[in-house]
């Protein structure tokens, strides 16, 4: 009979970021090439993502399977390498596709994804064919500086473009003042020299970038502006050419300053984790760099200090402010065996914490990395923009050539035709269009991360903004996931005696309902009684002797004569409770209604979702319809699907998508993984410290709190509005400028001014999302 073996994916491929990595497909292909294996697929068990291996034990032993897995993982880890590089020198959104195009033509580069807004390059290479160092050298040849760690630029480097443009502006101002008011000898020559100085100061960076772009056989905004400026110079208007470059470089510099605000919002998260930690080794405390910590190290965290790592509390108790990670506004109590996260703040007690994750593996570092790489997953608007530009640019180039050739054939001067053609190039440059969506995506995901919501790409940010239907898993999502005693109905005794007898019978049971009864007795400090001759009746209840008398506890199935409690039990069932009856010495002591507690914030969350445009909410549960209906009525769910198996949830999501087209699914990220993946947007609860939630969901609510869901929807709606505003604003301005260029009613200077103004406008509009 075929058997299965589960293996943790990270144990095989320690360098991968998630199960979407190309190496996972390579691993499955490599394993399936062995004809002795029946099936290999991605699966999830508990809180781990891994491979499920189906094999015939008559053909292979488990030791052989483990050996093949270890060999395959080691082979791929040795051959393939993943790297995230910081890239400097990208001064326009066009640089991203240029770098990707450049690198993908190198032998051994398997994947190159660039985030212009985050200045990040995500790289996968075959180490047998190329090295990361060679990639860095290749980028340097084209003017891009790549490094494994971001190198803080000097003040001069950071402000060089702005300084150059201001200097050009000073030269132009002096030139204009002299030309307007001065009567010096050789004035024309002096004005020309000042114009040339302004031209050089504002244009040297643009010209350098334009030449590098031409060497790559591509055209971008830098090339268009350099051509326009030199075209003006050829026509004798060096001052106008210098003014074009001044306006362009100033707009560029201000655009970069604005984008830096959005980048800083993300990078501020990374700064939350301290650089050093106090580690206890061999009984000695010493302070070391966080990067030097090893798995299993014991770290001392004093009151007021930030937590340096993700780990488990071994000793001590304290309240920890983990709002930077989960968005929770109230500090969380931490004691032995609880988990703490890097970047959270220990408030009032010393903690000894075992290091579970290294610096680059922590929830905080993964959040920052995912946010920085978010715009590599393009939104629908970005895909539309890319398609538009692909057809638009060749059309403009054809029109450019036509404007130079055709008008002179009908009597126009070559100079006027050339000037109009250059004007068309400037007017048609889609710079604002290219930056409009990435700037909004970066601002949106940065704001979400500040609130404890991880949105893993522009696609998901924009898709959530159009969602009108949300499906919820019940257990662990709308409810807390643990049964509690909701009500106690004493009959022939008082509540204390009833609870004492019940808890005494259940004290040795591991059943969740039993734990709920015992926990309540402990909270009320009710003493327990000694039980003898204990018997468990499977599926019904328990009985035993207390003080020499028979004590019984269970469901209605436990008792033959239950007429005295049937009506009360039915009332509890109608409320969605599991009814537990207790009888002692032949007398009915009473009943208890037990159920999973509804999250305190559930009803308010659903109301807030309705106010934010969600028209339909659906509960998916394996519970019976009576229980589901009772909970739905209390919290305001509009629709329910009950008695579902895990695979039925996947089928339900597919049905909803057919009916509604766009559907979000909210679950715990473990058992609900298939349904989360199928939904238009999968949203996982409690992503902090949960690898599966971070890997499977499109959006993770880092804290175990539904309150952030309406915020995520509201932010996504706002982001979508900003993206649409930026898109139509950019297209409208380009259209008007093209008309102005073709008709000759708009000068080059005016066009550049409007062009750069529109770019700053869309970036500024995007930055508004940081205040949502």
Q: For every residue of 244-266, which 3-state class applies, written as one string?
A: HHHHHHHHHHHHHHHHHHHHHHH
Question: What's 183's DSSP letter?
Answer: -
Q: How far apart are CA 618 and CA 478, in angstroms?
A: 11
What is the average per-residue pLDDT within 35-62? Answer: 71
Confidence of residue 141 (pLDDT cuts 50, 70, 90): confident
Give percent of the chain above pLDDT 90. 16
What is the average per-residue pLDDT within 411-430? Answer: 82
Is the pLDDT assigned to residue 35 strictly greater than 60?
no
Contact, 310 vs 342, CB < 8 A?
yes
Confidence of residue 596 (pLDDT cuts 50, 70, 90): confident
Q: What is the pLDDT at residue 248? A: 78
Confidence of residue 551 (pLDDT cuts 50, 70, 90): very high
Q: What is the pLDDT at residue 713? A: 95
Q: How far apart are CA 710 and CA 733, in angstroms?
A: 34
* Among 194, 182, 211, CA closest to 246: 194
Cα dihedral 363, 365, 368, 369 in deg (nearest 10)? -110
User: Cβ neighbours of residue 691 under 8 Å, at least 6 residues apart?
Assistant: 10, 47, 48, 49
Q: Are strands 699-701 and 681-685 parallel, antiparallel or unpaired?
A: parallel
Q: What is the pLDDT at residue 46? A: 53
Is the pLDDT assigned to residue 19 strictly greater than 70?
no
Of the listed ranges 281-290, 355-364, 382-391, the one predicted with least confidence: 382-391
Handedness of CA 257, 259, 265, 267 (dihedral sign): negative
Is the pLDDT assigned to residue 167 strictly greater than 90?
yes
Q: How far is CA 706 from CA 68, 412, 699, 712, in A?
A: 43, 68, 13, 10
Confidence of residue 609 (pLDDT cuts 50, 70, 90): very high
Q: How far apart are CA 680 and CA 674, in angstroms?
A: 12
For the record, the structure tokens of 23 come out as: 């190496």
What is the average per-residue pLDDT within 380-387? Answer: 77
Q: How far apart are CA 116 and CA 255, in angstroms?
A: 13
Of the listed ranges 313-317, 534-538, 687-691, the one predicted with least confidence: 687-691
* Among 273, 291, 262, 294, CA closest to 365: 273
Is the pLDDT assigned to residue 671 strictly greater than 70?
no
Q: What is the pLDDT at residue 598? A: 86
Q: What is the pLDDT at residue 10? A: 65
Q: Vertex 315, ends 309 and 319: CA angle to 5°? A: 70
Q: How far apart are CA 345 and CA 324, in angstroms?
A: 9
User: Cβ neighbours of residue 101 under 8 Å, at least 6 residues apart?
Assistant: 216, 218
Q: How far apart are CA 573 and CA 628, in angstroms?
A: 11
Partners of 197 in beta bridges: none
Q: What is the pLDDT at residue 341? A: 87
Q: What is the pLDDT at residue 299? A: 92
Give the burial string for 712-732 (b: 16+ CB within 10 Å, else e).
Answer: bbbbbbbbbebbbbbbebbbe
Q: How far apart are CA 685 and CA 696, in angstroms?
A: 11
- The average confidence (pLDDT) of the chain is 82
**222 vs 643, residue with greater confidence:** 643
Q: How far apart are CA 287 and CA 280, in angstroms?
A: 9
Is the pLDDT assigned to residue 513 strictly greater than 80?
yes
User: Cβ neighbours of residue 488 under 8 Å, at least 6 residues apart?
Assistant: 495, 498, 499, 590, 591, 592, 593
Q: What is the pLDDT at residue 16? A: 66
Is the pLDDT assigned to residue 62 strictly greater than 60?
yes
Tell me, letter by letter, the H, E, C secondary structure of 335-361. Answer: CCCCEECCCCEECCCCEEEEEEECHHH
Return the biggest CA–CA distance within the chain. 124
- Mind listing the pLDDT tens digit for each residue in 176-195? 888 888 777 778 888 889 98
Contact, 693 vs 682, CB < 8 A?
no
What is the average per-residue pLDDT within 410-428? Answer: 83
Instruction: Beginning with the edge strand found earlier in the chain, give each strand of the sheet holding 332-334 in spatial order.
Output: 332-334, 318-321, 345-346
User: What three-state secondary structure class fits 484?
Assistant: strand
What is the average per-residue pLDDT within 411-428? Answer: 83
**339 vs 393, residue with greater confidence:** 339
Q: What is the model's pTM?
A: 0.71
Which residue numbers are catalytic? 473
Confidence of residue 47 (pLDDT cuts 50, 70, 90): low
What is the average per-residue pLDDT within 438-455? Answer: 85
Tell me, letter by letter, the H, E, C secondary structure of 405-440. Answer: HHHHHCCCCHHHHHHHHHHHHHHHCCHHHHHHHHHH
Confidence of residue 418 (pLDDT cuts 50, 70, 90): confident
Q: How far apart are CA 87 and CA 120, in angstroms?
A: 6
Of the listed ranges 139-143, 301-305, 723-727, the one predicted with least confidence: 139-143
* Among 61, 65, 63, CA closest to 52: 65
For the record, the structure tokens of 421 come out as: 């053609």
For the record, the structure tokens of 605 come out as: 């969350």
User: What three-state secondary structure class fits 292?
Assistant: helix
Confidence of residue 376 (pLDDT cuts 50, 70, 90): low
Q: How far apart are CA 233 and CA 222, in angstroms?
A: 17
Contact, 358 vs 288, CB < 8 A?
no
Q: How many CB atoms lie within 10 A of CB 193?
A: 14
**372 vs 618, residue with greater confidence:** 618
Is the pLDDT assigned to residue 241 strictly greater than 60?
yes
Beta strands in 558-686 (DSSP E): 578-584, 587-598, 616-620, 639-641, 663-667, 681-685
Q: What is the pLDDT at residue 617? A: 93
Q: How far apart are CA 351 and CA 193, in angstroms?
A: 69
| Helix, strand, coil percentages in the chain from 3-state DSSP, rounded to 5 | 50, 20, 25
- Mind listing the pLDDT tens digit for each residue in 74-114? 777 777 887 888 888 777 667 777 888 888 888 888 888 88
What is the average per-residue pLDDT within 236-241? Answer: 81
- Mind listing the pLDDT tens digit for each residue in 461-476? 889 999 999 999 887 7
User: Cβ neighbours of residue 748 under 8 Å, at least 6 residues apart?
Assistant: 228, 232, 240, 244, 419, 422, 423, 426
Q: What is the pLDDT at residue 685? A: 83
Instruction: Beginning with the edge strand found earlier in the chain, give each strand of the sheet holding 339-340 in spatial order.
Output: 284-289, 276-281, 298-301, 351-357, 310-315, 339-340
- Taking only Cα atoms into account, the Rg of the chain, rounded to an integer number of angstroms, comes to 33
Confidence of residue 262 (pLDDT cuts 50, 70, 90): low
């Amino acid at each position: 009979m075929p058997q299965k073996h589960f293996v943790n994916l990270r144990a095989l491929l320690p360098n991968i970021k998630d199960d979407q990595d190309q190496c996972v497909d390579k691993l499955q292909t490599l394993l399936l090439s062995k004809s002795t294996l029946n099936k290999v697929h991605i699966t999830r068990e508990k809180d781990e993502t891994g491979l499920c291996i189906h094999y015939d034990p008559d053909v292979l032993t488990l030791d052989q399977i483990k050996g093949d897995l270890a060999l395959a993982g080691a082979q791929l880890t040795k051959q393939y390498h993943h790297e995230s590089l910081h890239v400097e020198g990208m001064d326009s959104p066009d640089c991203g596709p240029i770098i990707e195009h450049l690198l993908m033509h190198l032998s051994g580069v398997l994947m190159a994804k660039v985030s212009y807004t985050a200045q990040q390059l995500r790289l996968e290479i075959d180490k047998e064919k190329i090295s990361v160092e060679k990639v860095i050298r290749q980028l340097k040849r084209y003017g891009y500086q790549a490094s494994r760690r971001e190198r803080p630029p000097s003040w001069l480097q950071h402000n060089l473009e702005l300084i150059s443009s201001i200097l050009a502006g000073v030269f132009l101002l002096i030139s204009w003042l002299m030309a307007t008011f001065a009567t010096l000898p050789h004035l024309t020559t002096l004005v020309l020299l000042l114009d040339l100085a302004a031209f050089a100061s504002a244009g040297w960076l643009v010209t350098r970038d334009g030449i590098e772009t031409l060497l790559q056989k591509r055209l971008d905004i830098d090339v268009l502006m350099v051509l326009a400026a030199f075209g003006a110079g050829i026509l004798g208007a060096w001052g106008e050419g210098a003014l074009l470059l001044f306006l362009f470089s100033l707009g560029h510099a201000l655009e970069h300053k604005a984008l830096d605000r959005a980048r800083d919002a993300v990078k501020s998260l990374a700064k939350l984790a301290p650089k050093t930690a106090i580690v206890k080794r061999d009984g000695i405390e010493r302070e070391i760099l966080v990067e030097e910590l090893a798995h299993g190290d014991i770290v001392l965290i004093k009151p007021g200090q930030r937590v340096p790592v993700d780990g488990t509390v071994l000793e001590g108790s304290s309240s920890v402010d983990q709002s930077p990670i989960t968005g929770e506004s109230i500090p969380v109590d931490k004691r032995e065996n609880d988990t703490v996260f890097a970047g959270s703040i220990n408030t009032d007690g010393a903690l000894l914490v075992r290091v579970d994750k290294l610096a680059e593996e922590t929830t905080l570092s993964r959040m920052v990395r995912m946010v920085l790489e978010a715009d590599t997953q393009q939104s629908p608007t970005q895909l539309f923009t890319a398609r538009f530009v692909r057809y638009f640019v060749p059309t403009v180039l054809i029109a450019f050539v036509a404007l130079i050739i055709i008008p002179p054939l009908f009597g126009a001067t070559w100079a006027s035709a050339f000037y109009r053609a250059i004007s068309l190039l400037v007017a048609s440059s889609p710079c604002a269009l290219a930056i409009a969506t990435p700037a909004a995506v970066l601002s949106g995901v940065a704001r979400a991360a500040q609130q404890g919501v991880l949105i893993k790409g522009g696609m998901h940010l924009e898709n959530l903004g159009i969602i009108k239907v949300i499906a919820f898993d019940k257990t662990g999502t709308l409810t807390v996931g643990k049964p509690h005693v909701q009500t106690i109905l004493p009959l022939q005794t008082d509540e204390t005696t009833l609870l004492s007898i019940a808890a005494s019978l259940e004290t040795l049971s591991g059943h969740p309902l039993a734990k709920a009864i015992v926990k309540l007795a402990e909270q009320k400090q009710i003493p327990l009684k000694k039980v003898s001759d204990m018997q468990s009746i499977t599926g019904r209840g328990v009985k035993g002797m207390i003080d020499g008398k028979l004590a019984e506890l269970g469901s209605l199935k436990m008792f033959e004569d239950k007429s005295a409690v049937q009506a009360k039990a039915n009332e509890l069932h109608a409320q969605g409770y599991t009814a537990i009856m207790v009888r002692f010495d032949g007398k009915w002591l009473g009943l208890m209604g037990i159920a999973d507690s509804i999250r305190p914030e559930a009803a308010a969350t659903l109301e807030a979702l309705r106010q934010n445009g969600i028209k339909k909410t659906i509960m998916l549960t394996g519970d019976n319809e009576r229980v589901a209906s009772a909970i739905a009525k209390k919290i305001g769910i509009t629709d329910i699907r009950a008695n579902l198996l895990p695979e039925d949830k996947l089928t339900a999501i597919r049905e909803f998508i057919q009916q509604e087209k766009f559907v979000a699914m909210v679950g715990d990220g473990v058992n609900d993984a298939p349904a989360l993946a199928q939904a238009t947007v999968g949203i996982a609860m409690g992503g902090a410290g949960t690898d599966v939630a971070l890997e499977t969901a499109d959006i993770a609510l880092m804290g175990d709190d539904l309150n952030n869901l309406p915020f995520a929807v509201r932010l996504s709606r706002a982001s979508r509005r900003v993206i649409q505003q930026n898109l139509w604003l950019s297209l409208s301005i380009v259209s008007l400028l093209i008309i102005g260029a073709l008709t000759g009613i708009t000068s080059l200077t005016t066009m550049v001014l409007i062009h750069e103004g529109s770019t700053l406008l869309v970036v500024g509009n995007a930055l508004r999302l940081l205040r949502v």
